[in-house]
Structure formats: C-alpha cells, structure tokens
C-alpha cells in the first residue's frame, strides 16, 4: 500500500501525540535542512516541501532549495514487495490540513480551464525508488485525510518495484506513451502512469491526466482537485535524489472555449518534431518575447500546446496570438482560432510581455504537444 495508507499511518501517529495538523515553518531559504520525520516548510511563497518519513524509524534528511529539494540522507530500508519508507515531496494545494500559500485548491474539475506543471528531477544509481508525481482528487473539497482518487505518474523507477494493482493498457498522453496500472490500496483508488524510460524534465498539462483518469475511474467533473505533488518513494537508499525545479498553476473559469470552425485549443494533435525560436527585447524590469514555433515533422499539426517554464523572477502581464495559462513558473501557450493548423515545414508565432527581477534569462526548454523542441 502506498501514499494514502502512509498518510493514514502518519495521521494516526500525530493524533496519538495530540497533534491534529502539521505546522508549516516560515519561508525556506536556500539550503534549509529538514530531518524531522514530518517536517515541512514553504518555498517561493507558493509551495510546501515535506520530509514525510512515514515508513521507517531510520533518519531521513532533505536539503530544501528555493525551487525544490534533495535527499541528503536516507538510512531506511523497505521491503520491495511492500511499501516504500517515505515520500519526500513538494506540493501545491492542500495535504492533511496544510495548504500551500495562496492556493486556489481544492477546485472543482468542471471549473478548471487549465492545470499546468513543470518538473525537473535528478536521479542516482544504486538505489531502489520511483520518481512519483501525484494528483489527488475527491468528491468533496477535502483539505484533510485521505482523498478518494490518487493519480500517480512515475517519471522513473529503479529496482524490483511496481505500482499498485495491475497493468491494464497503454495510453498516449502529452505526446508520450505510458503503461497504465489500476488498483486500490484499501483506502483509495489508484491509477498509475508509468514511463517506459526515465524522464528527467517535462512541462505538461495536469488536466490531460485527469481527463484520461475519468475514463478509467469514478472521477467526474463534479469532483475536486485537491493537490499536486512531486517527489520520490525510496525503498533502498536514495541520497542524491532531487527535485531541482517544480512549478504548478491551476486556473479556474471552466474549460477553454473552442470555435467549431477551427482547431480546438484544448484538443491538440499528437507530438511532432519542432523548433522554437525565442527572441526577446529587455529593458529595466520589463521585457517582450516573440516566440516562433516551427513544425519540423512530417505531418500537419491540428491544434498545438507549447509548454515552458519562465525563470524565477519573471511574470507575464499580457500576450498575443495565443491563449496563455499561468503568469509565472510553468506556462502553457495554446493556439487561437486562426493559427491552430501548422503544416509540415510550416511555422506560427505568438508573443507576450512581462516583468522581471534580478538577471534576465530565457526558458531552458520547450515542449510542443509533449515533445521536446530544438532551439533555433
């Protein structure tokens, strides 16, 4: 049994000690170390990082940075046919009464117009673990206790471990192919999407995974998204594993409208080879960016979604020729009615204006419909 059962165990331990909820520390500075079993802190004024050593009495320490965390010490050893020893993670939303600063979660699925995220992992060899990205849903706007549905995205797994339940099929989501597992840990239903090979970084639509899960579970649009989490489940070892960057943005207002006579921005075609040219004009504390997206593949695009992450300190104030989700961190740009079709060998463009603090930098990577693009 995995995380939901772990959370129950943790809650039982805390309740026995007379504690009904964890207390968040103040905003973390770079290189803040947490060794407390359930210690946590905030980063970026937006996310919570938790140690969450629930399945072992051996010490685990994490080093918290401004954009994520790293496991510096992991002394527990779990049974690979059973549960892992911990789930150190960073999250947006609410987890056992602890809500990240300023979050708009829980939010009803029907009210989500976009939910995007960006994640970068650092992996190590010689350990048994999975790199897990969790999406939690419940029929009620629940901020405490176990949620009814867990979606797990395994970006990497090492060793003789497997998700809860059994493998049922494969699915293509975000331009990637996933092995799909379904099951229950006795406390909640679980749908797991397992990458066939390790993924070190990705910007993607969380809503794509929610929509696929709706076809495999009891989740409906009336359910609530309560939290988005990214971390590791170590069984053996794990020192050096790190989430080097995490961001998430969930926007309300309902599904993005579509024009029946033009490609729908919410249903792009599959991934294709691509090249992105990112040109900027920078001044004082402001900038503009002109983004050219070239289809270098062999087939036409019928609707497109470009994902990227703005460097820290940057924020978007306006845009043109695309519908943007998010203003900082993980950004998703979707085509508008007149530029959704891009023939093979063709290109389209859009732009935005923003502000920045500190030194200016460009996004490090772009994905078109889930496929990583080259830079031009």
Task: Please give the positions annotated as active site.
Answer: 150, 233
The two three-digit tokens of residue 62, written as one number: 């994490």
CB 245 within 8 A of CB 200: no
Contact 324, 318 (CB under 8 A): no
Bridge partners for 347 per DSSP: 294
CA 87 to each of CA 40, 167, 372: distance values in angstroms, whole numbers, following the listed order: 12, 23, 28
CB 301 within 8 A of CB 369: yes
CB-CB contact of 348 with 335 (8 Å): yes
- Per the DSSP assignment, residues forming a β-bridge with 173 are 176
Decide if 207 contacts 226 (C-beta within 8 A): no
- What gap in Å lies between CA 119 and CA 318, rounded to an integer? 24
As given in the structure block, the two tokens for residue 178 are: 């996933």
Which 3 state secondary structure label does DSSP give 149? Answer: strand
Question: Whose CA is closest to 176, among 376, 371, 375, 374?
Answer: 371
Structure tokens that stand for 173 in this block: 């989501």
């Amino acid at each position: 049994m995995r995380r939901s059962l772990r959370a129950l165990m943790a809650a039982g331990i805390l309740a026995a000690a007379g504690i009904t909820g964890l207390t968040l520390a103040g905003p973390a500075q770079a290189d803040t170390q947490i060794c407390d079993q359930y210690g946590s802190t905030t980063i970026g004024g937006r996310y919570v990082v938790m140690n969450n050593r629930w399945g072992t009495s051996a010490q685990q320490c994490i080093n918290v940075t401004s954009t994520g965390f790293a496991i510096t010490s992991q002394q527990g050893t779990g049974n690979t046919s059973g549960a892992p020893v911990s789930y150190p993670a960073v999250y947006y939303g609410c987890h056992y009464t602890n809500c990240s600063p300023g979050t708009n979660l829980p939010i009803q699925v029907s009210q989500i117009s976009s939910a995007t995220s960006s994640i970068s992992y650092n992996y190590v060899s010689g350990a048994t673990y999975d790199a897990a990205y969790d999406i939690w849903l419940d029929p009620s706007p629940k901020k405490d206790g176990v949620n009814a549905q867990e979606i797990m995205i395994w970006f990497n797994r090492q060793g003789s471990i497997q998700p809860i339940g059994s493998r049922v099929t494969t699915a293509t989501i975000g331009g990637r192919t996933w092995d799909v597992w379904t099951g229950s840990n006795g406390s909640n239903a679980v749908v797991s999407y397992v990458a066939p090979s390790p993924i070190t970084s990705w910007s993607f639509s969380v809503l794509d995974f929610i929509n696929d899960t709706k076809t495999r579970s009891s989740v409906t649009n009336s359910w609530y998204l309560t939290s988005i989490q990214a971390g590791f489940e170590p069984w053996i070892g794990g020192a050096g594993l790190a989430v080097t960057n995490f961001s998430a943005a969930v926007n309300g207002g309902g599904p993005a409208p579509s024009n029946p006579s033009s490609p729908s921005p919410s249903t792009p075609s599959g991934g294709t080879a691509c090249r992105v040219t990112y040109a900027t004009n920078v001044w004082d504390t402001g900038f503009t960016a002109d983004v050219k997206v070239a289809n270098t593949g062999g087939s036409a695009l019928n609707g497109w979604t470009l994902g990227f992450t703005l460097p820290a300190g940057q924020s978007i104030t306006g845009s043109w020729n695309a519908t943007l989700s998010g203003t900082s961190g993980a950004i998703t740009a979707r085509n508008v009615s007149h530029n959704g079709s891009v023939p093979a060998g063709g290109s389209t463009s859009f732009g935005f204006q923003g502000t920045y603090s500190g030194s200016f930098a460009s996004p490090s990577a772009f994905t078109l419909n889930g496929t990583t693009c080259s830079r031009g």
